[in-house]
Amino acid sequence: MKTPRGARRTDTHLSDGRELIYYDPADTPARVPLEDTRGLPAPQPQVDLRTDPLTGDVITYATHRNTRTYLPPADQCPLCASKPGNPTEIPDHDYNVAVFENRFPSFAGPGRTEVLCFTSDHNSSFTQLSQGQARLVVDAWADRNADLSARDDIEYVFPFENRGREIGVTLSHPHGQIYGYPFLPPRIRTLMARAREHQEVAGSNLFADVLAAERKEGTRVVAENGNWTAFVPEAARWPVEVHLYPHRQVAGIDDLSIGERDDFVQLYLDVLNRFDNLYGDPLPYIAAWHQAPVRIDRELGYLHLEVLSIRRAADKIKYLAGSESGMGAFISDTRPEDVAETLRKVTGS
């Protein structure tokens, strides 16, 4: 049992051998985990990695995922705490934050896929978490990042959340995932190449310079506090897109100080509330943590969170059409400065 910063960690296993980890507030009694009585067979994922010779991108084929759970009714949710007649992925009758190996992983052998449940409350959301509960999630992210980064078969750790059916969510319980890629994903390869070029030319960190420029210019800043700034990037691709940067360059979530973790929670909940108040109902979004690669270019990386939504109006969704899907050239219907001004005007609480 480990004790991550601000949290108590309890390790156990599910009936098929997959790992399950509970995170509870540090001042709570030690948890004695209940046994998973489902008697699940050992997982046999079918994963094939192939490299596109034209782009160098790695494409993952995980055909077993076609049988994964799809939009079950609330009383059969596999991410809720177990109840009589409904044993789930989490055997205990209640929990704060829980992380387990995905039963339908995108990677197996090399790599790792985990599910992180933000709360046992099926009807909640990250936006509705208390400051303390959200802070516990941050500590869980940090702990998992440290563990996964220490593995020889992982090159990049990617915590993320998908919210909303429009995004493609198949389980409505508030949760995110953590991918431990056995390769560098294409976006990170591109960002690191740009950061390396910038370092050679300007002699400074690309991400730090972007943050400094946004804070100085100011028109795209949505909100900020002592340790973090949230802004709409100058060349935003998505109808609603906000990036959250710490003011200090760090490589990963586990490098954040206590104060930086506290301030992140305050600002992130503020931004998510602005998202939900933008059109008067929960905004579908993807929240994507960008960290430094595990082994290479760590000095070039700069931890930040990118939050994006495909909703371009109250009743309209942006679909990736010919230019975006065929050429990767985004054409946006919304101007970053206008989005930032609108988000500043809506309440964050």
CA distances from 172 to 14, 86, 126, 163, 288 (A): 22, 17, 12, 8, 18
Task: For residues 324 and 229, give the distance between their C-alpha atoms in angstroms, rounded to a whole number.
Answer: 29
Strands annotated E in the chain:
7-13, 19-25, 47-51, 58-62, 97-101, 112-117, 156-163, 175-181, 221-224, 228-231, 240-246, 285-290, 304-309, 311-313, 316-317
- DSSP 8-state class, residue 98: E
Task: For residues 209 and 336, give the distance between their C-alpha atoms in angstroms, rounded to a whole number.
Answer: 19
Helix residue ranges, H only, 109-164: 131-149
Task: For residues 236 and 214, give the distance between their C-alpha atoms in angstroms, rounded to a whole number.
Answer: 13
Q: For the residues of 214-230, what is the DSSP string, one character each?
A: HHHH-TTEEEE-SSEEE
Helix (H, G, I), strand (E, B) or coil at 76: helix
Residue 187 burial (CB count, 10 A): 13
Strand 112-117 and strand 316-317: the pairing is unpaired
Give strand pairing partners of 263: none
Strand 47-51 and strand 19-25: the pairing is unpaired
Task: For residues 21 and 17, give the distance between their C-alpha atoms in angstroms, rounded to a whole number.
Answer: 13
Catalytic residue annotation:
175
